[in-house]
């Protein structure tokens, strides 16, 4: 994909005429490579950069408009590899600050590819989607660290009052136990 979009001729043939929120695109990340992304904030037309969520890695970056292109349909054959989720026990609004994000990325080894234990404990409905609330546990040290609890303890975020889920999702949740913890590499920010 990077090889294809590095060609100025190919980029020209995939020039975007509109930058709409939610549109899936090809975008150049800050490592110089091209990846699949979704426009999350097109900004105003006079802005030179667009906020893009990279759907295979979970990263978000502001990308120059000239490096955001229409995605060839054959690049959609593989499903998105990053999953949107919420950190369980954390009030979402209280987590919307740079310091909390930076500490979360540090505690979760963002972009370092260290394995963490992740458990789905509930869901949040957003339109037609159910976005999971997850417990993230760092098991790499001598003691396990619940990342949400650590952030609450440091005063970076507030505790969420409750996790809601639909009736059908509750059935699935009832079957979860400690054996359902999965060894995953997590690279999401809150």
pLDDT of amino acid 144: 95
The class (CATH top level) of 2-76 is: mainly beta
**pLDDT band with cut points at 50, 70 and 90 for residue 43:** low
To the question of pTM greater than 0.75 for the whole model, the response is: no
- Cα separation, 3 vs 155, in Å, equals 45
User: Where are the chain's structural domains?
Assistant: 2-76, 86-185
pLDDT at 10 over 80: yes
Share of residues in the chain with pLDDT > 70 (%): 82
The class (CATH top level) of 86-185 is: mainly beta
State how far the alpha carbon of 140 is from the alpha carbons of 57, 107, 136, 148, in Å. Answer: 21, 11, 12, 16
* Strand, coil or helix: 152: helix
pLDDT of amino acid 12: 94
99-126 pLDDT, tens digit each: 888 898 889 887 777 899 999 999 988 8
């Amino acid at each position: 994909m990077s090889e294809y979009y590095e060609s100025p001729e190919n980029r020209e043939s995939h020039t975007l005429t509109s930058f709409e929120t939610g549109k899936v695109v090809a975008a150049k990340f800050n490592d110089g490579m091209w990846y699949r992304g979704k426009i999350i904030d097109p900004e105003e037309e006079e802005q030179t950069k667009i906020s893009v969520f990279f759907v295979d890695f979970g990263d978000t970056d502001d990308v120059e408009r000239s490096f955001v292109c229409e995605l060839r349909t054959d690049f959609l054959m593989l499903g998105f590899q990053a999953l949107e989720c919420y950190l369980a026990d954390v009030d979402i609004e209280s987590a919307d600050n740079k310091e909390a994000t930076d500490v979360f990325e540090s505690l979760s080894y963002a972009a370092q590819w260290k394995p963490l234990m992740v458990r789905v404990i509930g869901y949040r409905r957003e339109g037609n989607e159910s976005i999971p609330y997850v417990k993230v546990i760092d098991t790499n040290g001598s003691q396990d660290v619940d990342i949400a609890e650590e952030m609450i303890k440091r005063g970076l975020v507030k505790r969420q009052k409750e996790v809601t889920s639909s009736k059908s999702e509750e059935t699935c949740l009832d079957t979860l136990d400690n054996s359902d913890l999965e060894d995953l590499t997590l690279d999401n920010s809150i």
